[in-house]
Chains A and B, each alone.
Chain A
């Protein structure tokens, strides 16, 4: 089913009598066995005001189209959404609705915030086939409950997004990347923390154990970046040799897309933790490769097929979600970290009220 308008979609949903998979560009690897509602024809940027830093687009609008429109005005999606195609081996065109549904945020999340922090408003069709709107297109809005946040990262299980409004930001004039040679993960996380708690506004803080380097990104006006880069170099010199990358190229885009894991066999997990817990967490798992982003708060792990990382950790504060695995592993372990009983009762009850017939991506989140 490929609705061309929101009204058509609402009618389709009202008439459904069996579960459906919600699909934007189909690049995020969550397609289920069910019939598909495909939003890729709900497209178009409906409003863009660079002077107000706001953009409104229909859910099926390609991310690339939005980024091109922003680029023309020297602006960008500051939360730096990942492209999953390389990691998952999917094809298709990533849509803004998919980005929002999965709350996809890249390296700049550590400074600028996540997709959900830039989401100002949504329109969606709920499980009864009703059109619902929440939030709006202004940056400050506390009118009623914030269902905007609830929809971000709900992976289509609460409703089918039809339109999203986003806060956008100016593109930095220049960007610089520092690399710090570090002997181990503990030193790496300590170096990243030192940078993040400095006043020098680091907009990317990662560690790649394969090259033994911590990476730090500085963005802004040229003079400012040079100044902060010099300050940071001396601040971090105690952790290891510091240098500025001459040609950073696609290093941050590769990090964003977990480039080192592409075409490597095995399952891929994403673990969200308090940065200082990261060294202990990776010591508890058997991973073939790891990659640390968000100052150590996000761990990517490539592990043997079928590994149950949650069992390997034991109890910990944070969550571990599967990004890539076979259907058997996903069925056995679940894509998302199981919730505590009290929380699960609340989230199941919310899902039941937004989608009482259990139509949308059933079983994906619980």
Chain B
């Protein structure tokens, strides 16, 4: 993966930058020894690593503002970091950058049930947002798989989703407001506890901007009352196409499940061996979950089962207890761990129109043969967000490159059938150079024009999202000016 050459002028001035940062931050918030900066060399896309020049861990918005102002004046790139769980390399450093970690900013600032919001510092983890309100039967809806560890800052940067967004939407649909620091150190507040923005929807464009427009230090999030109950049904089919048709028929019937999860043969077997969830031996497995009172769940599940039966399932298992529900979910929730036992894997994140599901699965199978790398599919079927997991051996020379090429072909296929490169993980460095497959130059230009507004010198996470060739003149203009 190509990254820009570190700016030698910045590297040379490391001591000056360090001195200035130490003037505005406590000593323990500035990390500069190479043995310690190494801890920030990568995120969850571990195939790529590069220790940053420095890392800082501010505790307040004021400290974030001071750091950004100094880096802006010194021309030092800044890579914001939540918990470092990005699967796309969103928090991958460059050798000449300062990592700005928000992990120390994890307080709950306000909980308001009457108006149904919570205000938190952005370093707080996703699950602990729900943790702060669940005693009172509320929850924060977006639930990415990494929710135990991932920070709200990163959720906002990547517009994270999760298994339940079919009903509840993704981060952008649950984000009401932010306090954000711009690269020049100025602090802006956007949105709040009210619903509509007065002018342009800046909040909408900040969410999902991958840390390139500013550093969010506080977030106002919508919280919802927990449903009375939730219950899944598991169904197995002998044919991917039939399973796909069943998903479409459920959706068309007017029922709105909270989740529809899909797994293919390889994943079913891996999960079963790993977690002993009691999954059937079949080609395609669906987990469909509904919510509500007992009677409501009975009603919805009976309709869903009626639809499923029309497609001749080889297995149909409605949960009868909390224990059975947990068992149905157990395999799905351990899918990534189970695949990790088989080999190293790369997790993709393309989205496709639901109607293209059978065709895309068939093509992925053919490509798997061509590349000689196995692939398992586990994904959110209701919204077409796929997660093909390509297995490879990191220790075998050439395997990673082969895997990357295979992954790129799958993502291009997603775009070609009318979908997109990434549904919830973000572009980062991983899909950066594929952006030109989805977007024409004018489309990318319009997006980059927004970054020009928020970060004219292109210092915030500059080597991400856009193909390096496309952003080159903007990044180089900054270096030439210095």
Which residues in A have some Cβ–Cβ distance to B below 8 Å?
49-54, 73-74, 103, 109-110, 113-114, 116-117, 126, 130-134, 136-150, 152-154, 158, 169-171, 173, 190, 193, 196-199, 220-221, 223-224, 227-228, 272-276, 294, 297-298, 317-319, 321, 336-337, 339-340, 342-343, 346-347, 349-351, 353-354, 365-366
Contact = CB atoms under 8 A, between A and B. Distances in A.
A140 B426 contact: no
Given A143-B421, A227-B293, A114 B384 contact: no
Contact of A150 (B194, B204, B451, B454): B204
Interface of B: 112-116, 137-138, 158-159, 161, 165-166, 169-170, 172-173, 186-190, 192-205, 207-209, 225-228, 247-249, 251-256, 292-293, 295-296, 299-300, 351-355, 380, 383-385, 418-427, 431, 435, 438-440, 442-444, 446-447, 449-454, 465-466
B426 A73 contact: no
A173 B193 CA distance: 32
Contact of A143 (B186, B380, B431): B431
Contacts of B351: 138-141
Contacts of B352: 138
A139 B196 contact: no
Nearest to B189: A340
Those 4 A-B pairs whose CB atoms lie nearest each other, nearest first: A149-B204, A51-B248, A319-B198, A140-B423
Most buried by B among A49, A140, A294, A354: A140
A277 B58 CA distance: 33
Contacts of A221: 296, 299-300
Contacts of A152: 201, 204
B192 A317 contact: yes
B423 A141 contact: yes
A52 B201 CA distance: 27
A143 B427 contact: yes
Contacts of A198: 225
A348 to B, nearest CB: 9
A319 B169 contact: no
B115 A275 contact: yes
A347 B199 contact: yes
B354 A51 contact: yes
Contacts of B189: 340
A336 B228 contact: no
B413 to A, nearest CB: 14
B76 to A, nearest CB: 23
A340 B177 CA distance: 15
B354 A349 contact: no
A319 B189 CA distance: 14
Contacts of A223: 295-296, 299
7 contacts: A142-B423, A150-B204, A224-B295, A275-B114, A317-B194, A349-B453, A350-B449
Contacts of A130: 442
A228 B292 CA distance: 10
A139 B451 CA distance: 25
A366 B186 CA distance: 21
A349 to B, nearest CB: 4
A146 B353 contact: no
Contacts of B443: 132-134, 144
B201 A103 contact: yes
B435 A144 contact: yes
B338 to A, nearest CB: 23
Nearest to B228: A199
B208 A346 contact: no
A272 B355 contact: no
Given A138-B420, A274-B192, A113 B201 contact: no
Contacts of A73: 252
A342 B198 CA distance: 14
Given A142-B208, A145-B205, A150-B204, A319 B383 contact: no
B188 A272 contact: no
Given A50-B251, A51-B251, A143-B438, 7 more contacts: A52-B355, A133-B439, A138-B385, A146-B159, A196-B116, A274-B194, A276-B112
Contact of B355 (A49, A173, A346): A49
B111 to A, nearest CB: 12
B88 to A, nearest CB: 9
Contacts of A170: 251, 253-256
A169 B435 contact: no
Nearest to A220: B296
Contacts of B353: 49, 52, 54, 137-138
Contacts of B424: 140, 142
Contacts of B385: 138-140
A354 B199 CA distance: 15
Scoring A137, A143, A154 by chain B CB atoms within 10 A of each residue's CB, the highest score goes to A143
B248 A138 contact: no
B253 to A, nearest CB: 8
B200 A347 contact: yes
A140 B444 CA distance: 19
A353 B453 contact: yes
A110 B195 CA distance: 8
B383 A146 contact: no
A117 B173 contact: yes
B205 A146 contact: yes
Contacts of B383: 138-140
B228 to A, nearest CB: 5
Contacts of A351: 200
B256 to A, nearest CB: 6
B355 A144 contact: no
Nearest to A138: B351
A105 B200 CA distance: 16
A1 to B, nearest CB: 22
Contacts of A117: 169, 172-173
A366 B426 CA distance: 32
Nearest to A275: B115
Given A317-B193, A342-B186, A353-B453, A199 B295 contact: no
A114 B453 CA distance: 26
A152 B299 CA distance: 37
A133 B440 contact: yes
A82 B252 CA distance: 26
Given A143-B427, A272-B196, A274-B194, A197 B446 contact: no
A80 B201 CA distance: 20
Contact of A145 (B165, B193, B256, B450): B450
B415 to A, nearest CB: 9
B436 to A, nearest CB: 11
B465 A52 contact: no
B292 to A, nearest CB: 6
B427 A144 contact: yes
A140 B450 contact: no
Contacts of A318: 192, 194
